[in-house]
């Protein structure tokens, strides 16, 4: 049997715009490659600019805003690099792995890339088995119990590092030394089993508003728009991106009036025009 000390692992974690992998997007990736004898071989960390806004509930977890992501690369640029980092030799580790697996599979589908073939081990049942007396099995709870953290960061690389430390402590406390024993106790999954993701196909929109928005984005121009059924005032916005959900189409733009990035439903725009440069 292969000994655990001879294997490489990659702990990874995503921060996202929400909890639905079909509708939401990854906005931060953190990962650390390690082994039992080399606690840190390499790391991967990046923010990702999404094509939809961040939900309030997601913001409450990680604290990231659209302003934090404005200069970040898109997933089309990031994902090939992350897949190369994963390679095919390491066992992937994620806490509540079904969440991260589903998001990785969905992003691969969107980018027309094949998902990695690595085995993915969920550390949640592993922690339940090793430390059955814990109050709960949130990663941060286990980390506090083991004295590994004092504050919760909820960021991609920090959580990946914490997951690595928890896993290494669990291997030590469980006495497991053979990889076959580990995999037989905590059944790993293949990423390809969750790669069959289907997205709704939004109808084609050819409205004047959408064409103006697309022109504003491509030419980096501002828009003046009258938004909402009862609004008569115009506001100036800087469009950043568009996305669709079902049959509805949306624009993410920085609202000059409020000084924040907001999401506007395109069919609620009463009138708009390009602001003169």
Cβ contacts of residue 255 below 8 Å, gap of 6+? 235, 237, 261, 262
User: How do residues 128-176 score in pLDDT, each as one tens digit?
Assistant: 999 998 888 889 999 999 999 888 788 999 999 999 999 999 999 999 9
Closest CA to 93 of 68, 123, 134, 72: 123
Q: What Å distances lie between residue 13 and 101, 107, 168, 174, 214, CA to CA?
A: 10, 14, 17, 24, 33
Class of domain 208-274: mainly beta
- Which residues are the active-site residues? 154
Contact 85, 42 (CB under 8 A): yes
User: How do residues 171-207 score in pLDDT, each as one tens digit?
Assistant: 999 999 999 999 888 888 876 555 456 554 444 434 6
For the chain, the domains span 4-194, 208-274
pTM over 0.85: no
CATH classification code of 4-194: 3.30.420.10
pLDDT given at position 202: 42
| Tokens found for residue 129 | 């088995």
Contact 50, 69 (CB under 8 A): yes
**Band of the pLDDT at 275, cuts 50, 70, 90?**
confident
CA–CA gap between residue 40 and residue 207 (Å, rounded): 52
Specify burial of residue 249 (Cβ count, 10 A radius: 0-12, 13-18, 19+): buried
Cβ contacts of residue 210 below 8 Å, gap of 6+? 242, 249, 266
Closest CA to 209 of 169, 168, 187, 237: 237
| Tokens found for residue 59 | 């913001």
């Amino acid at each position: 049997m292969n000994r655990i000390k001879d294997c490489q692992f990659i702990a990874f974690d995503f921060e996202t715009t929400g909890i639905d992998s079909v509708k939401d997007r990854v906005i931060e990736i953190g990962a650390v490659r390690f082994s039992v004898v080399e606690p840190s071989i390499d790391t991967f960390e990046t923010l990702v600019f999404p094509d939809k806004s961040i939900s309030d509930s997601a913001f409450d977890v990680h604290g990231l805003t659209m302003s934090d992501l404005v200069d970040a690369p898109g997933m089309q640029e990031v994902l090939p690099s992350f897949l190369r980092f994963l390679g095919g030799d390491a066992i992937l580790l994620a806490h509540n792995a079904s969440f991260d697996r589903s998001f990785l599979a969905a992003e691969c589908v969107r980018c027309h890339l094949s998902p990695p073939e690595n085995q993915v081990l969920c550390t949640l049942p592993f922690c339940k088995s090793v430390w059955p007396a814990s109050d709960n099995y949130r990663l941060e709870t286990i980390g506090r119990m083991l004295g590994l953290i004092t504050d919760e960061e909820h960021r991609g690389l920090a959580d990946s590092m914490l997951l690595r430390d928890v896993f290494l402590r669990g291997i030590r406390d469980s006495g497991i030394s053979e990889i076959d024993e580990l995999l037989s106790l905590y059944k790993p999954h293949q990423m390809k089993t969750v790669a069959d993701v289907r997205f709704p196909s939004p109808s084609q929109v050819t409205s004047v508003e959408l064409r103006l928005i697309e022109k504003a984005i491509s030419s980096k121009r501002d828009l003046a728009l009258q938004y909402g059924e009862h609004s008569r005032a115009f506001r100036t916005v800087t469009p950043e991106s568009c996305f669709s959900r079902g049959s509805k189409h949306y624009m993410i733009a920085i609202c000059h009036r409020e000084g924040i990035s907001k999401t506007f439903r395109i069919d609620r725009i009463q009138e708009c025009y390009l602001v003169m440069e």
